Amino acid sequence: MLKGYLTVRDNCEVCSEDLHHHRADDGPAYVTILICGHLLAPIMMYVFETWRPDTLVLTVGFIVAFVALALYMLPRIKGVFVGLQWAKRMHGFGRDAAQSPAE
């Protein structure tokens, strides 16, 4: 579905479904930050309460973990957004070829 890191292909390589209708915009980034924050916040609290690391070590360690997790999850969540739009027939998905774009 994706070519490169975040660019959605115009058509699916397998079934030739048009994918250019998608409107993912900022949704995947917002959901990625939300999920990463909710996953790493309890772990950060546990690490801090258990081992009491230096503030700089804790900050740098969790910034690296957050960025790595966010970069891993972002294209997958974007794929979920495009797939959800396709499944719900939103933003032009499911429009018959006979219909005009204004309808």
pLDDT tens by residue, the chain, 103 residues: 889 999 999 998 998 888 888 888 899 999 999 999 999 999 999 999 999 999 999 999 999 999 999 999 999 999 999 999 999 988 888 775 445 455 4
Q: Is residue 93 part of a domain?
A: no
Q: What are phi and psi of 40, to 5 degrees?
A: -90, -25
18 neighbors 10 (Cβ within 8 angstroms): yes
Q: How many domains does the chain have?
A: 1
Q: Is residue 30 part of a domain?
A: yes
Q: Provide the sign of the torsion angle of the four alpha carbons 49, 54, 55, 60, taken in this order.
A: negative
Q: Which domain holds residue 67?
A: 2-87
Question: Tokens for 13?
Answer: 């390589």
Q: Is residue 100 part of a domain?
A: no
The pTM of this model reads 0.84
Q: Is residue 78 part of a domain?
A: yes
Q: Is residue 102 part of a domain?
A: no
Distance CA 73, CA 35 (A): 9
